[in-house]
Amino acid sequence: MKTIAVFASGSGSNFQAMIDAVQNGDLCAKLALLICDKPSAQAIDRAKEAGIHSFIFNPKDYRFKEDYEKEILCELKNIGADLLVLAGYMRLIGPTLLAEYQGRIVNIHPSLLPAFPGKDAIGQALEANVKQSGVTIHFVDEGMDTGPIIVQESVTIDESETKDSLQRKIQTIEHRLYPAVLKMLLARGEVTSGKKTRAY
């Protein structure tokens, strides 16, 4: 059974979808660690409830990104992490973690990349008045939402769409798709590959 560490900065709704998938037997993996850079994040409460250890840090307490990533790396090695899964983690992964886990870091983003990378992708899509947006799951590289795409799924943006309604549509897809894709990657042994995988 592979060991997963989840990185989150906020509510952790995708983290909860993974917890549920493991508990339901849909995802055969061990969720062993939550890495969180926001001490008040709801994701921490979700981890506690599920009995998952959390490593919580404040980046402002460190002079350089390398310093806190070295501590994270120690935590990851302690649990023997096979796969790093970003679920609303609002920081770029730096060279320290990339060097150790290249091809084994996965992220989810609420747009059809390369469209609307970075923060507030849902707001960006509405402002651009596009007819479709969606969800992208991709491997992480040194850029912002630039790694090789694994899977994408689109959603139609209605004329009356609001930011809240579009977010709900996208999160519905995310909560179903992310555990399924993790299951696929682990089953197919593709967590050490940066190649593009077939769409779901």
Query: Do the beta carbons of residue 110 and residue 121 sit within 8 Å?
Result: yes
Q: 83-86 and 105-109: which strand pairing?
A: parallel
CA nearest neighbour of 173 among 150, 198, 158, 153: 153
Would you give the DSSP letter of residue 189? Answer: T
- Residues 110-131: b if buried by 16+ CB within 10 A, e if exposed: bbbbebbeeeebbebbbeeeee
Residue 109 falls in the annotated catalytic set = yes
Catalytic residue among 53, 109, 138, 175: 109
Residue 137, both tokens: 């799951």
Contact 110, 133 (CB under 8 A): yes
Long-range Cβ pairs for the range 114-118 (8 Å, 24+): 114/145, 114/146, 117/144, 117/145, 117/146, 118/144, 118/145
Residues 6 or more apart whose Cβ sits within 8 Å of residue 60 = none
Which token pair is 62? 């460190």
Sequence letter at residue 162 = T
Would you name the residues annotated as active-site residues?
109
